[in-house]
Amino acid sequence: MSVAGQGQGQGQSGHGQTAGAVSRALTGDATLLAFDYGEKRIGVALGNVLTRSARALTVIANKSRDYRFEAIGDLLREWQPNVLVVGLPCHPDGTPHAMTQQAQRFGNQLNGRFNLPVVWVDERYSSVDAEARMRERGERTGRDVHVDAEAASVILQQYLDELP
């Protein structure tokens, strides 16, 4: 995995915010929320720039646009993040696939609704890594346990690890 950049191209975040806006938001002990967007569920993780750590937070059912953004709004009010990180799904060779555009749209909607900088991170293998982490801790990874929040944590940790 690697940082895919901010927004549609390198150095841009959703709706024209520059990389500078992200850099300014990442000062001190900035809080970040990361999202692993899926058609049925959205995994959410919480992280901190000062500690360079991320942890799984929750899973939001992707029932409807209104439902998901109300739930996300509640999380934003509770955690008051400075930056949002969205996993960008790609094929193993790095090319986009069907979910890539949906994740980009979701990130752009986050930026437009909540006016926070959004950074996209290549999420290849994040779910595989999440399942491996959970198995190492002795946690179940079957259908009854959602790995989506753990995948969001993997995505966010990757971003934090690549910060200067």
Structure tokens at 37: 């967007």
Boundaries of every domain in the chain: 27-162
User: In this predicted model, what pLDDT tens digit does every residue of 98-151 receive, in sequence order?
Assistant: 889 999 999 999 999 999 999 999 886 555 555 555 566 566 655 444 788 988
Residue 81 DSSP label:
-
User: In this predicted model, what pLDDT tens digit does every residue of 43-90 receive, in sequence order?
Assistant: 999 999 999 999 999 999 999 999 999 999 999 999 999 999 999 988
Residue 92 pLDDT greater than 90, yes or no: no
Fold of 27-162: Nucleotidyltransferase; domain 5 (3.30.420)
Residue 11 pLDDT greater than 60, yes or no: no
If pLDDT is split at 50, 70 and 90, which confidence band does 16 have?
very low
- Spatial strand order in the sheet of 31-37: 3-5, 118-122, 83-88, 31-37, 41-48, 53-61
Q: Which residues lie below 8 Å from residue 32, measured CB to CB, with a gap of 6+? A: 46, 47, 48, 49, 54, 81, 82, 83, 84, 85, 156, 159, 160
If pLDDT is split at 50, 70 and 90, which confidence band does 7 have?
very low
Please tell me the predicted confidence (pLDDT) of residue 68. Answer: 96
* Helix, strand or coil, per DSSP, at residue 8: coil
Please tell me the predicted confidence (pLDDT) of residue 127. Answer: 56
pTM of the full predicted structure?
Answer: 0.80
Please tell me the predicted confidence (pLDDT) of residue 1. Answer: 40
User: In this predicted model, what pLDDT tens digit does every residue of 25-35 receive, in sequence order?
Assistant: 777 789 999 99
* Helix, strand or coil, per DSSP, at residue 158: helix
Please tell me the predicted confidence (pLDDT) of residue 143. Answer: 47
